[in-house]
Amino acid sequence: MNLNWLIVLPVVSALAILPFSQLKQVRSIAAIGATLQLLLSCVLLYVFMQDPASGMSGSLAFESSYAWYKPLHIYHSVGVDGISIAMIMLTAIVVLAGVLISWNMEKMSREFFFLLMLLSAGAYGYFISTDVFTMFFFLELAVVPKFLLIGIWGSGKKEYSATKLVLMLMGASALVFIGLSGLYFNNASGNLSFNMSELAANPLSVEQQKFFFPFAFIGFGVFTALFPFHTWVPDGHSSAPTAASMFLAGISMKLGGYGILRVATTIMPEAAHYYSPYIIVLSAIAILYGSFATMMQTDLKYINAYSSVSHTGFVLFGIGMLTKTAIAGAVIQMVSHGLMTALFFAVIGMVYERTHTRMVDKMGGLLKTIPFISTVFMIAGLTSLGLPGFSGFVAEMMVFIGSWENGGTLHRVATIAATASIVVTAVYILRAIGKVIMGPVEHEAYFEFKDARWNEKTAAIILVAAILVIGITPFLINHLITPGTEAIMNKLVANP
Query: Rule CB under 8 A: which residues touch another protein?
Result: 68-72, 137-138, 140-141, 143-144, 147-148, 151-152, 158-159, 162-163, 166-167, 170-171, 174-175, 177-178, 181-182, 184-185, 211
Q: What is the DSSP letter of 165?
A: H
Count of beta carbons in the 10 Å neighbourhood of residue 448: 9
Residue placing its CB nearer to another protein in the complex, 22 or 298: 22
Give least dist CB 202 to another protein, A: 18
Residues sharing a CB contact under 8 Å with residue 377, sequence separation 6 or more, in sequence order: 347, 351, 366, 433, 436, 437
Please give the Cα distance from 490 to 61 (Å, whole number): 18
Give least dist CB 17 to another protein, A: 14
Residue placing its CB nearer to another protein in the complex, 170 or 426: 170
Please give the Cα distance from 26 to 248 (Å, whole number): 22
Give least dist CB 144 to another protein, A: 5
Please give the Cα distance from 26 to 3 (Å, whole number): 26
User: In Å, what is the CA distance from 235 to each residue of 86, 181, 193, 298?
Assistant: 28, 31, 38, 14
Residue placing its CB nearer to another protein in the complex, 18 or 493: 18
Give least dist CB 170 to another protein, A: 5
Residue placing its CB nearer to another protein in the complex, 68 or 292: 68
- Rounded-to-5 percentages of helix, strand, coil across the chain: 75, 5, 20
Give least dist CB 256 to another protein, A: 17
Contact 78, 128 (CB under 8 A): yes
Give least dist CB 25 to another protein, A: 17
User: In Å, what is the CA distance from 161 to each residue of 166, 181, 192, 247, 397?
Assistant: 8, 30, 38, 16, 34
Residue placing its CB nearer to another protein in the complex, 239 or 304: 239
Q: What φ, ψ does residue 330 adopt, rounded to 5°?
A: -65, -40
**Cα-based angle 88, 89, 93 (whole degrees, multiple of 5):** 115
Kindly give the pairing relationship between strand 61-69 and strand 74-80. Answer: antiparallel
Residue placing its CB nearer to another protein in the complex, 58 or 171: 171
Burial class (CB in 10 A: 0-12, 13-18, 19+), 156: middle
Give least dist CB 159 to another protein, A: 6
Residue placing its CB nearer to another protein in the complex, 144 or 387: 144
Contact 89, 143 (CB under 8 A): no
Give least dist CB 132 to another protein, A: 12
For 67-110, the DSSP string reads EEEGGGTEEEEEEE-HHHHHHHHHHHHHHHHHHHHTTT--TTHH
What amino acid is encoded at 367 in this protein? Answer: L
Give least dist CB 23 to another protein, A: 16
Residue placing its CB nearer to another protein in the complex, 138 or 377: 138
Please list the residues that pair with 359 across neighbouring strands: 299
Give least dist CB 282 to another protein, A: 21
Count of beta carbons in the 10 Å neighbourhood of residue 405: 13
Residue placing its CB nearer to another protein in the complex, 75 or 302: 75
CA 479 to chain centre: 20
Please give the Cα distance from 141 to 217 (Å, whole number): 19
Residue placing its CB nearer to another protein in the complex, 118 or 293: 118
Give least dist CB 441 to another protein, A: 36
What amino acid is encoded at 359 in this protein? Answer: M
Please give the Cα distance from 345 to 42 (Å, whole number): 24
Residue placing its CB nearer to another protein in the complex, 70 or 450: 70
Residue placing its CB nearer to another protein in the complex, 48 or 153: 153
Please give the Cα distance from 482 to 455 (Å, whole number): 35
Give least dist CB 68 to another protein, A: 5
